A and B are shown apart, each in its own frame.
Chain A
Amino acid sequence: MKKTLLLNGLCCAHCAAKIERAVGKLDGVVSTNLNFMTAKLSIEAMEAKMESVLAEAEKIIKKVERDIEIKRI
């Protein structure tokens, strides 16, 4: 299944790449794509793991850039 997070305030392209890479390595993740221009991170993961993946992803984002406001859409 696929979920998208909107990362309000994402303004460092390098950080975006870091987030994308780190989330991609999470257990259960099939694919990730962070579109820097729309500031949307879409995560494809196994249904059973989705919640934990999303929680982990939010932690990663907060760690890389603290000022990002995360919205699930």
Chain B
Amino acid sequence: MRGHMKRMLQAALGLVFLIPALIVKDTYISLALYILALLSSGGTVLLSALRNLFSGEIFDENLLMALAAAGAFCIGEYPEAVSVMLLYQIGETFQAYAVGRSRKSIQSLMDIRPDHANIESDGEIIEVDPADVHPGDVFIVKMGERIPLDGRIIKGETSIDVSALTGESVPRDVKEGDEVLSGSINLTGMIRAEAIKEFEDSTASKILDLVENAASKKAKSEYFITSFARWYTPTVVISALLLAALPPIFLPGAVFSDWLYRALTFLVISCPCALVISVPLSYFAGLGRASRFGILIKGSNYLDALSKINSVVFDKTGTLTKGVFKVQSVHAETLSDAEILTYAAHAENFSRHPIAEAIQKAAEGFIDVSRISSVSELPGLGVFAVVDGHEVACGNHRLLESQNLPMPEFAQSQTTVFVLIDGKYEGAITLADVVKPEAALSIQKLRALGVKRLAMLTGDKKEVGQRVARDLNLDEAATELLPGDKVSEFERLIEGAPKKTKTAFVGDGMNDAPVLARADVGIAMGSLGSDAAIEAADVVIMTDELTRIPEAIELSKATNRIVVQNIVFSLFVKFLVLALSAFGFASMWAAVFADVGVCVIAILNAMRLLKRNE
């Protein structure tokens, strides 16, 4: 802030001398006042211009402004000279203020860094630096405080607000034994937790690190702007020189001071600041906004690529589906459906396999452990148990084959558990992985956003995979893939996609690393806190919600729109004012506007991204 105050003070002082200078009739006094006004408003600019000149910085903004003012002064345009300095100082102040504000608002979006941790020492609660708390240490989080490190609750229960991490606004209830992530806010009660990670490896630190470093992977338009800026200033300065020198020599009747004035106006417009600032700022605002939605994007280039996505390939299990099996139907031969289910649930009672757990869940409340007398595993086939004195075997199609029993028709296309009682086929239970409720809507939205090709990869059986693909209205499904086939299959699916478009792969991050890396944009789902996903993916969706993908694409499109607006607008105004001043139609005031005014407008435009509602 001190810098802003100094500039404003200088501008005010300049104004104090400028006003009487305009009024006073005596030429010498007014000239003296003009000089005072110029020096007081632009003295520091002149000084740094001189300093930079001696250190070889010829295309320095200060130097160009100082030259413009000094030149205008020399040709007798005193008020112009002073006001260029005045407006420049005011404009710079505005610009610095706008940059400061946007820095703050972007950072407040990402304000998840915990500043302290409470620990107990000699019966008293003291505040320490979270970096001094290590895994295994116990820390205390009071009501309303931010959780400093990833930990496991050892005492107390509470609701925590995880919205800063995931964008999910409904508080999460947690109790003893649950894990809590740093950066979330403890809402209702005091908890004691044991740290499970170092501060720097905790979620909050990781996310911040990721978002802050995201700016280092620049988008194409950022490179365009920086390289553009490098030749823009020298070109404008050289044209200014030519403008001052050539016409008075070659044009009959040309007045040197007129052309010099035009050349000086060129110098004022020659700073590329508006461009250099507004493009990275727009991307940064977009990245900040996305992180608030629970979408971590690892670079401006990926934010840019998201808007150009033409094909999206999904992994099935855990991404399109919940990865949790649910009993679909029971087929009984002689007994009732309920009896088959309870027999199976008893036999499977001690198994932790996802399919066994689904059957247990379906029979919840009807399981009586005392009915089970002997349990054994049938490797590769299923389980065997004695229930109520009956020998019950539950297992897959290989169990049927081992008994030389035929496979029923309905079992072809579904995940099925067969139930044999006393060696006789008695029935079967079919299960399915549940499709996420928002999957269909998200896919519809992706199509509406212009994604042309939507496909799916899975290791599952053909019939199972194709049914999910049909239900979700996907274009294609590649099924029965071994983990190693996924990359080549992904390549086949995206073959023929138009060159300028991008492809995305959406996976759960744990086992899809090679495909995530192969895709232009690898999107990992529901992987908050998973190191593997954060490593391999370009975009990490911290909640499990598929709807975040169309949201990310929308945000990316909005960011790109603003980037294009800023580039077109600043270039248009600059070239317009350059053209006008070359023909003598633009004053230095217009030039100052083209410099700093445009810059402030571009910054404000970029800030609109932060206001986008959820």
Contact = CB atoms under 8 A, between A and B. Distances in A.
24 contacts: A9-B3, A11-B95, A11-B99, A12-B61, A12-B273, A17-B229, A17-B276, A33-B215, A35-B213, A35-B216, A36-B277, A36-B281, A36-B284, A37-B102, A37-B103, A37-B106, A37-B281, A38-B103, A38-B107, A38-B212, A38-B215, A42-B216, A64-B57, A67-B3
Nearest to B47: A66
Interface of B: 3, 48, 51, 55, 57, 61, 95-96, 99-100, 102-103, 106-107, 212-213, 215-216, 226, 229, 271-273, 276-277, 280-281, 284
B66 to A, nearest CB: 15
B571 to A, nearest CB: 16
Interface in A11-65: 11-14, 17, 33, 35-40, 42, 63-64
A11 B61 CA distance: 13
Given A37-B215, A67-B3, A11 B226 contact: no
Nearest to A65: B48
A9 to B, nearest CB: 6
Given A11-B95, A37-B284, 12 more contacts: A11-B96, A11-B99, A12-B61, A13-B277, A13-B280, A14-B271, A36-B277, A36-B281, A37-B102, A38-B212, A63-B55, A67-B3
B212 A40 contact: yes
Contact of A14 (B106, B107, B216, B273): B273
A5 B57 CA distance: 23
Contacts, number: 53
Contacts of A17: 226, 229, 276
Given A17-B229, A37-B280, A63-B55, A11 B215 contact: no
Nearest to A4: B212
A13 B48 contact: no
A38 B226 CA distance: 18
Interface of A: 9, 11-14, 17, 33, 35-40, 42, 63-64, 66-67
A42 B48 CA distance: 26
Contact of A33 (B51, B99, B106, B216): B216
Contacts of B215: 33, 35-38
Contact of B61 (A14, A37, A39): A14
A36 B280 contact: yes
| A17, A38, A66, most chain B CB atoms within 10 A | A38
Contacts of B100: 11
B567 to A, nearest CB: 14
B271 A39 contact: no
B50 to A, nearest CB: 12
B257 to A, nearest CB: 30
A60 B107 CA distance: 27
A33 B239 CA distance: 33
A14 B277 CA distance: 8
Contacts of B107: 38
| A13, A38, A64, A66, most chain B CB atoms within 10 A | A13
Contacts of A63: 55
B216 to A, nearest CB: 4
A17 B51 CA distance: 19
Nearest to A37: B284
Contact of B276 (A13, A39, A66): A13
A35 B216 CA distance: 7
A37 B212 CA distance: 9
Contacts of A64: 57
Contacts of B102: 37
Contacts of B273: 12-14
A12 B96 CA distance: 8
Nearest to A64: B57
Contacts of A39: 103
Contacts of A38: 103, 107, 212, 215
B98 to A, nearest CB: 9
Contacts of A14: 61, 229, 271-273, 276
A15 to B, nearest CB: 8
A34 B279 CA distance: 15
Contacts of B55: 63
A68 to B, nearest CB: 10
Nearest to A36: B280
B248 to A, nearest CB: 32
A36 B271 CA distance: 17
User: Which 6 pairs between the two chains have the least Cβ-Cβ distance?
Assistant: A13-B277, A13-B276, A33-B216, A11-B96, A37-B284, A35-B215
A66 B276 CA distance: 20
| A14, A17, A39, A40, most chain B CB atoms within 10 A | A14
Contacts of A35: 212-213, 215-216
A33 B51 CA distance: 26
B214 to A, nearest CB: 9
A9 B95 CA distance: 12
A58 B226 CA distance: 23
Contacts of A40: 212
